Amino acid sequence: MNKLVSVVMCTYNGAHYVQEQINTILSQTHPIEELIIVDDASSDDTVQLISQLAKKNERIKLFCNQINLGYTLNFQKAIQLASFEYIAIADQDDYWVNTKLEKMLAAMKPHVACIYCDSVRFSGTIPINPKPNKKNRKIEGSDPIQLAMFNTVSGHAMIIKKSFTKKLPLIPATVYYDWWLAMQATIHGGIQFFPEILVYQRAHENNVTIQKGLSEKQHRNAYRKMLQLHLIAWLAIPNLDATQVKFFKTFHTLWSQSLHQSINIRLFCFLVKHHKELFYYKVRKFPLISAVKVSFLFSFNRGER
């Protein structure tokens, strides 16, 4: 059975790199049916460039927002516009290996809602024979608690099923869309990881999700506020079982308290107690010691306000 694929891409002031990314998508060994591109009110030449490409290839379908929605709501719009059962998500400035879709679709198990591949960040020239990050473990399966605190499922590496997206409420504007999709996927069939680097994520000064120039403490405080918004979203997820609901309520309460307290012993104990799930992604020789260290940094933060 032929698997029909929509690729969805969101653009914003991406004229410098978007054509190269479009070329890697159109040259996939598993052909795509359509490339949905939703531009988020760019002020550079992105729209003009894509319009010219669309005239030459009818699979490219360009939609333009009159006002800037932000990348989460823009990706939600793009996903809703997709026509076919398999939806591959693309960033505007990355580079896809030409066998990405073929390999992932061949490996995708029938029951899963989402499959994602490995990826590597680069700047400058395209990497040759990149190596995976052996310090981090990729999350897969059906346990939303493993995704409660950290996410390894990147949108640019995802293929999701349209039938899965039809079951979902709207994505909250305050969360990372790919983290939210991954969390939902654990409940609607599960997540599968394909252990091969098939996406090269380009790092440059205009990346939305790559924060630069912040100190370690600033990163930690930004993370505290970000996770608080995500925990609110996790609490609103339907179909969690009673144990999961209790977990997320407790985690949200303790994390909220930590935003206003310099010392939170209860949060520290909670994080350590659940370290096997919350820090599952970390591959360490002494995992408990690593978990205690991270838990301490987030629970005892005197002087970081």
Q: Could you tell me the strand order of the sheet in which 5-11 lies? A: 60-64, 34-39, 5-11, 86-90, 158-161, 114-122, 191-202, 95-96
Burial class of residue 121, CB neighbours in 10 A (0-12, 13-18, 19+): middle
* Backbone φ and ψ of 210, nearest 5°: -105, 105
The CATH code of the domain that includes 10 is: 3.90.550.10
302 pLDDT band, cuts 50/70/90, is low
Judge whether 249 lies within some domain: yes
Q: Distance between CA 38 and CA 69 in Å, rounded?
A: 11
Judge whether 211 lies within some domain: no
Last residue of a domain, one of 173, 202, 231: 202
Residue 126 has pLDDT above 80, yes or no: yes
Interval 233-284: pLDDT, tens: 999 998 999 999 999 999 999 999 999 889 999 999 999 999 999 999 999 9
Residues 166 and 63 in one domain: yes
Tokens of 289: 């010691």
Count: domains in the chain: 2
Q: Distance between CA 289 and CA 63 in Å, rounded?
A: 50
Judge whether 304 lies within some domain: no
Could you give the percent of the chain with pLDDT greater than 90? 85
Residues 176 and 53 in one domain: yes
Q: Whole-model pTM?
A: 0.94
- Sign for the pseudo-dihedral over CA of 176, 224, 269, 251: negative
Residues 153 and 247 in one domain: no
Residues 57 and 160 in one domain: yes
Residues 15 and 109 in one domain: yes
Pair 116, 86: CB distance under 8 Å: no
Residue 6, CB half-sphere, CA atoms under 13 Å: how many?
Answer: 19
Residues 104 and 250 in one domain: no
Average pLDDT, the chain: 94
Residues 187 and 286 in one domain: no
Q: Distance between CA 4 and CA 83 in Å, rounded?
A: 9
Residues 143 and 10 in one domain: yes
Residues 91 and 230 in one domain: no
Residues 230 and 130 in one domain: no
Judge whether 209 lies within some domain: no
Last residue of a domain, one of 202, 235, 260: 202
Interval 164-216: pLDDT, tens: 999 999 999 999 999 999 999 999 999 999 999 999 999 866 655 555 567 88
Judge whether 207 lies within some domain: no
Q: How many CB atoms lie within 10 A of CB 59?
A: 15
The pLDDT of residue 37 is: 98
Judge whether 256 lies within some domain: yes
- Both ends of the chain: CA-CA distance in Å? 57
Judge whether 102 lies within some domain: yes
Residues 35 and 179 in one domain: yes
Residues 113 and 228 in one domain: no
Interval 137-169: pLDDT, tens: 999 999 999 999 999 999 999 999 999 999 999
For residue 253, the Cα-to-chain-centroid distance in whole angstroms is 25
Judge whether 230 lies within some domain: yes
What is the domain range of residue 266? Answer: 216-299
Last residue of a domain, one of 153, 170, 202: 202
